Amino acid sequence: MAIFPEALQADEFLRDVAHHQMTIIREDEMYRHIRFKRPGENAYYFDLVTWPGNLVVTGDCGNYHFARERDMFGFFRTTRERASKPEELRRCINPDYWGEKAQAVDKQSPIEEFSAERLGAELKREMLSWLRERWFLTEKEERRRFWNDLHTYILSEEFDPGGYRAYDLVSQFSFSFESHSLKDFRFSPDLWERSFTDYTHQYLWCCYAIAWGIQQYDEFKKGQST
């Protein structure tokens, strides 16, 4: 399961749509086309399009197609809480479960991608765990060189979205300790059985757009009925 990248928070989305207005372009039971955008601008606009069993979110920030229940607005209504604050909006999305229902994703931005930050955190954790067990067998200068090599040869590198170069570098990495005849350090071979992905910026943005957009629609309908 992926985790939320620190770079994207719900407050960022709410700033992007702060001046959006809703326009119902079409509404015929479950056949809907609803647009959310700033008047006179296309930045961060998005559309929600539904037909029985399907929902597409499309626009300036990505395109994703989901299929599950006959009324997809009902499927995406995970909470009745108003999504007007970041902490509320975060509780309104279920990116892992929703991703399982995706039928098509944006060719520029899949649901998940390799995260160098997650890999780096795991490498540091494994390195420190190894050192703690052998602290009294190593010298301060060796530990400093160990850290410098890890940073120079892996952590400072630019990786491809699939993480293939990272896999090669980590698999080839080793460090020799001269003191106490310690065996060379190498990362555990089961490292790549763990997940090092995060949800992409666009996918999370579109998850927020779905939850927030449906709530705007529901509030509009509620106002019409009173």
Residue ranges, the chain, pLDDT below 70: 1-8, 79-84, 226
Inside any domain, residue 1: no
- Report pLDDT for 6: 39
Inside any domain, residue 161: yes
| 188-to-69, 109, 160 alpha-carbon distances in Å | 43, 31, 22
Q: Which residues contact 169 (CB under 8 A, 6 or more apart)?
A: 153, 154, 157
The reply to whether 106 and 204 lie within a common domain is yes
The reply to whether 170 and 130 lie within a common domain is yes
Q: Is the distance from CB of 52 to CB of 190 less than 8 angstroms? A: no
Inside any domain, residue 2: no
The reply to whether 106 and 211 lie within a common domain is yes
The reply to whether 61 and 135 lie within a common domain is no
The reply to whether 133 and 80 lie within a common domain is no
- Report pLDDT for 85: 73
Alpha carbon distance 152, 61 (integer Å): 35
Alpha carbon distance 54, 30 (integer Å): 9
The reply to whether 52 and 102 lie within a common domain is yes
The reply to whether 123 and 168 lie within a common domain is yes
Closest CA to 210 of 95, 128, 70: 95
The reply to whether 102 and 120 lie within a common domain is no
Inside any domain, residue 171: yes
The reply to whether 72 and 31 lie within a common domain is yes
| 221-to-56, 77, 119, 210, 226 alpha-carbon distances in Å | 21, 15, 46, 16, 9
The reply to whether 123 and 185 lie within a common domain is yes
Inside any domain, residue 77: yes
- The DSSP 8-state label assigned to residue 183 in this structure reads P
Alpha carbon distance 51, 137 (integer Å): 66
- The DSSP 8-state label assigned to residue 172 in this structure reads H
User: Which residue range is the domain that position 130 belongs to?
Assistant: 116-195
- Report pLDDT for 164: 84
Query: Encoding tokens for residue 46?
Result: 């998005």
Inside any domain, residue 98: yes
Inside any domain, residue 4: no
The reply to whether 41 and 104 lie within a common domain is yes
- Report pLDDT for 8: 54
Inside any domain, residue 5: no
The reply to whether 84 and 125 lie within a common domain is no
Quote the pTM value.
Answer: 0.78
Alpha carbon distance 200, 204 (integer Å): 6
Question: What is the count of structural domains for the chain?
Answer: 2
- Report pLDDT for 163: 82
Place of tokens 């555990």: 188
Q: Which residues contact 102 (CB under 8 A, 6 or more apart)?
A: 64, 65, 66, 111
